[in-house]
């Protein structure tokens, strides 16, 4: 049974790229720095390497194609990577990168989408609006020394207003629930197309922060009004409903009704739940109803079959998807944010049980990294809670027996969620095992995905060298993946998730951009 693993082991030891994440630390390190500081410096080195690749071959387009030194514009051509990178560059105090991006942002024309490509309200909000708002908060706050004059942050805030003002027509529906799929030229959208829970429910933090920043209530009003439909859901078929606190996924813009009862903590639904507790962090007086909705969702998830343990690895916990009252035993990298989110809820509510549950989810997601050849976790997997049906593929059966799950999508798309949850777990517990796990994961990403002028997504985390490169570098790698890998080691960064018993002064949006909470502004 173990023979195949031994063969694989021999394979690893002669391919330098798959194993270099377990090589010892470099010898010429700065001896006045402790281990964590040296790791933070190494993450910053990787960030700057990727930035200069992008700057050389792609700026100010949206993304770098690192293998072919080319570029793409999948985010409407406003320089997504530059805007997404800014808050991370500020936390790392990477001055040249910061100056370049601050000079660039005021030149963007948000009125025009390149080739009139459809604009996603959600992606534009979390990446562009979130990135700009965060830069204003950081540069007006603890990182003031990194900018030349207050004119810089005034120009940035003006661009945030310009962008949101252009986006506002999305809310002009019979319910006020915004369309996500916008034609900028005609300022139009298709009312008969439903919207989704995550895209409609992950706007309220950014638009509320913008309102508070520029003293204009209209932006917050729009999103908070739409959110009411999500907080108090109605169903097209009133006799079919998910467990209390959980939601379906597709919403009719004309009636506000949910059209289905299927959902999950993963893509399509995820950040709706994430923002319920983050709004409470933003303002614990005004958003208690959001916190109550979050608690109900977490309680249903933690006390039902959604909180699921694989048959061959009962020590692991993955969050299953649901179809009404039934569960489907599938999960994925995106859902791995939940561990950190439950830990955040435990921190702000002073509930140790929630911290423990979140740690359990986080540790299990980290185990998916441990399971593969590259040391990187897969995009999606499935499992069984009872003895799995053995098929002809002995290799797969053995993998499932050892690791508890079966890989259903082996790609790695430079995603941050596991590093993100490890960061929250470290802040809540102070347990250095989380710094070590994060460092190990980051070195695996660096060893497998670093190529040409940047980092590329890969096709197979369980093959030598990660299979092959997709030649695409997502902007969120700069906003999130590098940031969480850095912050968990960089104790002296001026912005952090607060530890147990301390007040949260910052809240990170779903793209990893930190905002000042309302009481701090
Ligand atoms: C070594 O690290 C210390 C502390 O972070 C820093 O002040 C110093 O500039 C570093 N030295 C070099 C040569 O990078
Ligand atoms: C964008 O459109 C608004 C509203 O029409 C206008 O005031 C603004 O000047 C335009 N911005 C640019 C850069 O064209
Ligand atoms: C800031 O903007 C004002 C008004 O446009 C201008 O007079 C001033 O020179 C600017 N300051 C700096 C340091 O650029
Ligand atoms: C915002 O909403 C409040 C309460 O619903 C309402 O009184 C106020 O007029 C709205 N303000 C704007 C600018 O829409
Ligand atoms: C509504 O849902 C119930 C429960 O799932 C189902 O039995 C019924 O057929 C559904 N009705 C319609 C009109 O879809
Ligand atoms: C927040 O709640 C307090 C107390 O109910 C209220 O006075 C205040 O106006 C609210 N602030 C905002 C911005 O909604
Ligand atoms: C903490 O959260 C758990 C899980 O949802 C819940 O069962 C428990 O009642 C909470 N404890 C307190 C003191 O609120
Ligand atoms: C999850 O929690 C259970 C019970 O506390 C524990 O036995 C198990 O080891 C934990 N799993 C992980 C991956 O931490
Ligand atoms: C998984 O964990 C085991 C035990 O800690 C370790 O020996 C192994 O190298 C890890 N594998 C990967 C791919 O990280
Ligand atoms: C594992 O997943 C693959 C798809 O990636 C599928 O073809 C295979 O049948 C699955 N094996 C088991 C035992 O579930
Ligand atoms: C990342 O890879 C580069 C190039 O192979 C190497 O020089 C660097 O030390 C690596 N960094 C980490 C954190 O593994
Ligand atoms: C890179 O460009 C070459 C030549 O134009 C092309 O054949 C190849 O498919 C490209 N590679 C990727 C990964 O897109």
pLDDT in tens, 36-69: 999 999 999 999 999 999 999 999 999 999 999 9
What is the pLDDT confidence band of residue 391, given thresholds at 50, 70 and 90? confident
Axis-axis angle for helices 130-140, 150-167 (nearest 10): 160
- Asked if pLDDT for residue 13 goes beyond 70, the answer is no
What is the pLDDT confidence band of residue 28, given thresholds at 50, 70 and 90? low
Q: Does residue 446 line the site of ligand 11, with CB under 6 A?
A: yes
Q: What is the pLDDT of residue 18?
A: 36
SS3 413: coil
Q: Does residue 23 line the site of ligand 4, with CB under 6 A?
A: no
Distance 451 CA to ligand 2 centre (A): 40
b/e map of 37-52 (b: 16 or more CB within 10 Å)? bbbbbbbbebbbebbe
The pLDDT tens digits of the residues spanning 438-483 come to: 999 999 999 999 999 999 999 999 999 999 999 999 999 999 999 9
Distance 505 CA to ligand 6 centre (A): 18
Rounded to an integer, the average pLDDT of 207-217 is: 98
What whole-number percentage of the chain has pLDDT above 90?
90
Q: What is the pLDDT of residue 8?
A: 30
Q: Does residue 191 line the site of ligand 4, with CB under 6 A?
A: no
Determine the atom of ligand 6 nearest the C-alpha atom of 212. Answer: 13
Q: Does residue 216 line the site of ligand 11, with CB under 6 A?
A: no
Q: Which of 7-21, 135-149, 409-423 comes out lowest in average pLDDT?
A: 7-21
Q: Which two tokens stand for residue 361?
A: 């989810």
Distance 346 CA to ligand 7 centre (A): 9
Rounded to an integer, the average pLDDT of 220-226 is: 98
Nearest CA to ligand 4 atom 14: 218
- Ligand of minimum distance to the alpha carbon of 411: 10
The pLDDT tens digits of the residues spanning 400-439 come to: 999 999 999 999 999 999 999 999 999 999 999 999 999 9
Q: What is the pLDDT of residue 313?
A: 97
- Asked if pLDDT for residue 7 goes beyond 70, the answer is no
What is the total count of domains within the chain? 1
**What is the C-alpha separation between 291 and 301, in angstroms, rounded?**
15
Q: What is the pLDDT of residue 453?
A: 98
Distance 404 CA to ligand 8 centre (A): 14
Compute φ and ψ for 517, nearest 5 degrees: -75, 165
Quote the domain boundaries for residue 37: 2-520
Q: What is the pLDDT of residue 31?
A: 74
**Residues annotated as catalytic (active site), given as ranges:** 379
- Asked if pLDDT for residue 125 goes beyond 60, the answer is yes
Q: Does residue 37 line the site of ligand 1, with CB under 6 A?
A: yes
Q: What is the pLDDT of residue 62?
A: 98
Residue 86: give its domain's CATH number: 1.50.10.10
């Amino acid at each position: 049974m173990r023979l195949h693993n031994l063969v694989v082991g021999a394979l690893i030891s002669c391919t330098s790229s798959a194993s270099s994440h377990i090589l010892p630390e470099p010898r010429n390190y700065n001896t006045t720095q402790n281990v964590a500081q040296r790791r933070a410096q190494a993450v910053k080195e990787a960030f700057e390497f990727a930035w200069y690749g992008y700057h050389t071959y792609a700026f100010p387009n949206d993304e770098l194609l690192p293998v072919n030194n080319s570029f793409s514009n999948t985010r409407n051509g406003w320089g997504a990577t530059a805007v997404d990178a800014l808050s991370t560059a500020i936390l790392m105090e990477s001055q040249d990168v910061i100056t370049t991006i601050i000079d660039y942002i005021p030149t963007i024309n948000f009125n025009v989408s390149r080739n009139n490509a459809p604009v996603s309200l959600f992606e534009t909000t979390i990446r562009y609006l979130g990135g700009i708002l965060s830069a204003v908060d950081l540069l007006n706050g603890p990182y003031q020394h990194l900018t030349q004059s207050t004119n810089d942050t005034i120009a940035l805030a003006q661009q945030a207003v310009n962008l949101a003002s252009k986006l506002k027509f999305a809310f002009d529906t019979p319910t006020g629930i915004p369309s996500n799929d916008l034609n900028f030229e005609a300022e139009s959208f298709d009312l008969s197309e439903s919207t989704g829970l995550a895209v409609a429910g992950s706007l309220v933090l950014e638009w509320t922060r913008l309102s508070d920043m520029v003293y204009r209530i209209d932006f917050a009003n729009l999103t908070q009004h739409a959110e009411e439909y999500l907080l108090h859901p109605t169903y097209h078929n009133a006799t079919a409903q998910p467990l209390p606190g959980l939601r379906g996924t597709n919403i009719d813009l004309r009636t506000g009704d949910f059209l289905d009862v299927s959902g999950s903590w993963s893509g399509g639904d995820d950040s709706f739940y994430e923002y319920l507790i983050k709004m409470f962090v933003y303002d614990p007086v005004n958003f208690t109803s959001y916190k109550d909705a979050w608690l109900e969702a977490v309680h249903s998830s933690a006390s039902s079959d959604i909180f699921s343990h694989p048959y061959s690895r009962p020590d692991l916990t993955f969050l299953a998807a649901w179809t009404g009252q039934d569960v489907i035993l599938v999960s994925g990298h995106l859902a791995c944010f939940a561990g950190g989110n439950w830990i955040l809820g435990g921190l702000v509510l002073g509930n140790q049980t929630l911290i423990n549950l979140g740690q359990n989810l986080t540790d299990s997601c980290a185990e998916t990294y441990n399971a593969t050849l590259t040391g990187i976790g897969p995009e999606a997997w499935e499992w069984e809670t009872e003895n799995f049906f053995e098929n002809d593929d002995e290799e797969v059966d053995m993998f499932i027996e050892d690791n508890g799950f079966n890989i259903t999508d082996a790609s790695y798309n430079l995603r941050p969620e596991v590093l993100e949850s490890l960061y929250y777990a470290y802040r809540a517990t102070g347990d250095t095992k989380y710094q070590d796990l994060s460092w190990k994961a980051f070195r695996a990403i660096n060893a497998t995905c670093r190529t040409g002028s940047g980092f590329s997504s890969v096709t197979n985390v369980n093959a030598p060298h990660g299979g092959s490169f997709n030649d695409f570098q997502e902007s969120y790698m700069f906003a999130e993946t590098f940031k969480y890998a850095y912050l968990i080691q960089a104790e002296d960064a001026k912005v952090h998730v607060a530890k147990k018993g301390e007040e949260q002064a910052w809240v990170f949006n779903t793209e990893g951009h930190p905002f000042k909470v309302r009481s701090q502004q």
